[in-house]
Amino acid sequence: MRSVKNLLVLMLTVGLILSPCLAMAKTLKIGSLSPLTGQYAADGNDIRQGVEIAIAMWEAKGGVPGFDKIEYLPQDSGCDGKQAVSAANKLANLEVAGVVGAYCSSATIPASDVLNDAEIVMLTPASTNEKVTDRGYKYMFRVCGRDDDQSKAAAEFLIDVLKIKTIAIVDDKTTYTQGLADNLEKELGGKVKVVAREHINQGDKDFSGILTKIKALDPDVLYMSLYNPEGNLMAIQAKRLGLRATLMSEDAVYHPNYLEIAKDAGEGTYFTFGQPPSEEIPEVKAFMDAYTKKFGQPGSYSSYAYDAANILLAAVAKVGADDPDKLAEEIRATNMQGASKKITFDVKGDSGSTYQILVVKDGKFVPYK
């Protein structure tokens, strides 16, 4: 009987000793939004993988102080507003500390309405439409550039370098592509004649009608304000139909699979995309080594997603995850060399644009010189 009492006393003592530790054990929940299935899954999984690498590197150095583990909760937002809202509500109900995403601006904007109301910070690595950060949301941040800057870079190149006289512009009527096309037309300012302004639908695969019309107009440039799958196919079909126009596109078509799918049809295509820092910078090298070892070649926005996750985790490490206002202020105070660029945020939550012109040469993306 005495031995039983002694055992009970011992168990109670151990329980009292361990209970504060158990109470302190916390799980840090991080979410992401991106298209994980469907035609835009390549870009969406680039984002997911970038976040995974950031989390793995934090875990390798001991994790985030105050938390015993990091739980990553990637959600499939597609490029659809309703799907993104549903995914954002799910993450809010799961009480995540923050969200990396989304990819398409048409998903990010409505999802951020939900997350901002729930006082959850959101860092988009890829949504470039100005409205993402122009609404004054306290908890919304953008790691990539803005489309008003991207369109300006494109227009200056077309006017001052290529010195074109005519252009045809095609978009898919979504927030991002139509907004960027509108911006480009505005930036051209009448110095270049827009001979055609055409629209397709996301998911279209046959562009022969539009391309035949554009071929007859014989513009100097065909500007594809599209997402990657449609951009790949349009380049191939433009080549097949014998369009003489030079092709130009933007960050959503700029992806390694453009080279793999468009092949010869993509040669000579110009793109706008953020200028990456030197791979000799330690932060860049660490990302490249870790990413390529696990996933191979990074996608266009892999490094931006990695940086977004690192910013979020670093902020939580400093101020915790219980006070969203403190967390947002800590993120706003970021001054970090990332894998994508040097990152600071302005009052809107923008981190600045670093757009450069690239061209496909011998099957590779190279900076235009």
Per-residue model confidence as pLDDT tens digits over 134-175: 999 999 999 999 999 999 999 999 999 999 999 999 999 999
- The pLDDT assigned to 24 comes to 54
pLDDT in tens, 100-135: 999 999 999 999 999 999 999 999 999 999 999 999
Dihedral of alpha carbons 240, 272, 295, 94, sign: negative
Beta-carbon contacts of 180 under 8 Å, excluding residues fewer than 6 positions away, are: 128, 129, 147, 150, 151, 171, 225, 250
Give CA–CA dist 128/275, Å, rounded.
Answer: 15
Average of per-residue pLDDT values in the chain:
94
pTM higher than 0.75, yes or no? Answer: yes
Q: Which of 15-19, 297-301, 349-353 has the lowest mean pLDDT?
A: 15-19
Instruction: Inform me whether the pLDDT recorded for 40 exceeds 50.
Output: yes
Helix H or strand E encompassing 256: helix 256-262
DSSP per position, 135-185:
T--TTEEESS--HHHHHHHHHHIIIIIS--SEEEEEE-SSHHHHHHHHHHH
- The pLDDT assigned to 108 comes to 98
Q: Which of 324, 320, 325 is nearest to 26 (CA)?
A: 320
Instruction: Inform me whether the pLDDT recorded for 369 exceeds 90.
Output: no
CA distances from 166 to 214, 241, 354 (A): 11, 19, 27
Pairing of strands 98-101, 364-367: unpaired
Neighbour-count burial for 6-24, b at 16+ CB within 10 Å, e otherwise: eeeeeeeeeeeeeeeeeee
Instruction: Inform me whether the pLDDT recorded for 96 exceeds 60.
Output: yes
* Domains of the chain, each with CATH number or no CATH: 24-146+278-354 (3.40.50.2300), 148-276+356-367 (3.40.50.2300)
Contact 105, 132 (CB under 8 A): yes
